[in-house]
Structure 1
Amino acid sequence: MKFAIITDVHGNFDALEAVLDDIDSRNDIETIYNLGDNIGVGHETNKVLDAIFDRDDMEIIAGNHDEAIMSLVNDTPYPEDLKDKFYEHHQWIESHLDEDYYDRLNQLPRKIEKSINQRKLLFIHYEISNDKLNTPIDGIPFSPIVEPTENNMTQLFSDKDADFIAFGHNHTVHLFDDKSTIDFNPGAVGLNNGSYAVYGIVTINGNEIDVERVKVPYDNEEFLRGYDEKQVPGKDLIFDKFL
């Protein structure tokens, strides 16, 4: 069995399109697991949602930006940890979000669990301790980001029972496959990689799990110009920290 992992598209349709085209060209990817943060930071919100919700082969979970933006839609408390950085930007995203997607975004789960060839697989945006899996986003359920070391990953996910854990949120690659539980973050599709989009391919053959990170070149100039053309709030922070 072979599947793909994408995460942190962050409103960058051009990067997402490059990744999906590469996945489709392979003709051997059975499922795409999308680990959240599809909207926010980037400005191509509805184009991204059109692309992901139109596919029959994609399973999707929620990220913290997805949930924070939906808190504005739902008129529920907004998370304090994002207020200083993203509140105005998220308001802008919410004002441009097609209401046809409200229900689907609200219904996204926070994790997906699978069992393949007696191997337990967990797909999650980032660690949420088991006692916070139902905590609303304003309760800050996602654990603080830790440095991507093998020891930190073991401690971070110590309450999870899985042979393979795929996650996103921290936009840099993590691959720790030399221990009993494989931890893998392919990096953000839409941010932090310049003119490349990234994703992961996982192959399960018997009890063996093989992981590959794929980098796909794409033209990011139109995406970058869009911040000025659309007068996107928060551009300075976004360019400084994420692009």
Structure 2
Amino acid sequence: MKYALISDVHSNLPALEAVLEDIDARGAVDATYHLGDLVGYAPWPNEVVGLIRERGICGIAGNYDSTVANDYKHCGCKADSPRAEELSHISYGWTREHVSPEAKRFLGELPFRMDMRPRGGHTSRPQVTLVHGSPTLNTLYWTEDRPDSFCEKMAKAAGLKEGDLIAFGHTHKPWTREVGGVRFVNTGSVGKPKDGDWRAGYVLVDVGGEVGEEIGPPEFVRVEYDLERAAEGVLASDLPDEFAGQLEAGGVTPPGTPKPVEVP
């Protein structure tokens, strides 16, 4: 049994369409799940939510989803400069103004976390847990430089044991590690990568199908999509033009240019 895990679409419809097409073409994926942050930063929040609903893709709430749904004062995003702070508020305000009541209702109904037992409910292990940021907060940034002790703390908070897997997003940078027999997987981002690779990213996980089978190592997949269409969509909207540049650069500013604007 194989799962496709997608996260941080951030209203980038061309990227989501390309990823789902890639998943469909594989023909051996049994289920697709999303790990939140469906909206924000690009001009297709309603279309992204509509496609997720149309495809029946289950998932959880990212910080952007839950704050938009509840009209919170800000998106819970990390800002590393005054301009980044300004951009985050512009994006959040734009999204709240343009998201439809139906999409907003859908975002508000997303759960905080999901737990799956691929062998069925009568078995206790292995368990696959999906969160957005961490098992404690969907705004917590679980970066690759976190020590093993932090991973162990999060595994304990989630009730995970040896042989289990926990997947998350939020940082837009893919990575994986195994600590104490628990597999930790950051799926990266479909619609707003920040690792210098503009291509949409997602993860495939083989969770096995028979008693005694272990969850396999994650396969990180990158998919080319219509970047020009995505950038033009941003430029044609009244969102900041900088968001188009961030898509084109994979969230990393080329050498010789000013320090990059970090907008999670």
- TM-score clears 0.5: yes
Shift of 1:68: 1.8
Evaluate the alpha carbon distance shift between residue 185 and residue 94 of structure 1 in structure 2; reply closer, same or farther with a 3 A threshold.
Answer: same
Number of the residue aligned with 2:39: 39
Could you say which residue in structure 2 is the equivalent of 1:100?
A: 102
Offset, 1:125: 0.3
1:201 pairs with one of 204, 207, 232: 204
CA RMSD of aligned residues (A): 2.6
Aligned to 1:29: 29
Q: Is the 8 A contact 1:195 1:218 kept in 2?
A: no
Q: Which has the higher strand share?
A: 1
2:40 is paired with a residue of what secondary structure? coil
> SS where residue 93 of structure 2 aligns?
helix
Contact 1:7 1:199 (8 Å CA) reproduced: yes
Larger CA deviation: 86-95 vs 24-33: 86-95
What is the Cα deviation at residue 38 of structure 1?
0.5
C-alpha displacement of 1:2: 0.8
Contact 1:89 1:234 in 2 (8 A): no
1:128 touches 1:142 (CA, 8 Å); kept in 2? no
Larger relative helix fraction: 1
Does structure 1 conserve the Cα–Cα contact (< 8 Å) formed by 2:235 and 2:244? Answer: no
Q: 1:213 is matched with which residue: 214, 220, 223?
A: 220
Partner of 2:157: 159
- 2:234 is matched by which residue type in structure 1? Y
Once the 2 structures are TM-superposed, how far is the Cα of residue 157 of structure 1 from its aligned partner? 3.7
Task: Give the drift of 1:213.
Answer: 0.8
CA–CA distance in 1 between the matches of 2:167 and 2:135? 13
- Rounded to whole Å, the distance in 1 between the matches of 2:184 and 2:69 is 29
Give the gaps of 5 or more residues in structure 2. 80-84, 120-124, 247-260
Aligned equivalents of 1:5, 1:79: Cα separation in 2: 23
User: In 2, Cα distance between the equivalents of 1:161 and 1:68?
Assistant: 26
Q: Are the structure 2 counterparts of residues 199 and 144 from structure 1 closer, same or farther at C-alpha, using a change threshold of 3 Å?
A: closer
1:87 aligns with 2:94: no
Distance 1:2 1:221, change over 3 A: same
TM-score (norm 2): 0.77
Q: Kindly provide the CA deviation profile for residues 30-60 of structure 1, in whole angstroms up to 9, marking residues without a partner as x.
A: 111100000012221111111101113x211
Query: Structure 1 residues 212, 18: CA separation in 2 closer, same or farther (over 3 Å shift)?
Result: same
| Residue 241, structure 1, aligned to residue 241, structure 2 | no
**In the superposition, relative to structure 1, how do residues 212 and 226 fare at CA in structure 2: closer, same or farther (>3 Å)?**
same
Task: Write the deviation string for residues 103-157 of structure 1: whole angstroms up to 9, x where unpaired.
Answer: 211110010011123201110101142xx7xxxxxxxx63344444461433344
For these two proteins, the number of residue pairs brought into alignment is 229
- In structure 1, how many angstroms separate the alpha carbons of the residues matched to 2:241 and 2:151? 31
User: How far apart are residue 79 of structure 1 and its match?
Assistant: 5.7
Q: By how many angstroms is 1:228 displaced?
A: 2.2
- In 1, Cα distance between equivalents of 2:47 and 2:244: 23
The separation in 2 between residues aligned to 1:203 and 1:9, in whole angstroms, is: 22
218-227 or 5-14, which deviates more: 218-227
Change (3 A) 1:36 1:149: same
Distance (whole Å) between structure 2 residues aligned to residue 124 and residue 48 of structure 1: 20
Structure 1 spans left out of the alignment, 5+ residues: 133-140
2-side partners of 1:186 and 1:6: how far apart?
Answer: 7
Tell me which moved more, 169-178 or 9-18. Answer: 169-178
Residue in structure 2 matched with residue 138 of structure 1 by the alignment = none
Query: Which residue number corresponds to residue 130 of structure 2?
Result: 123
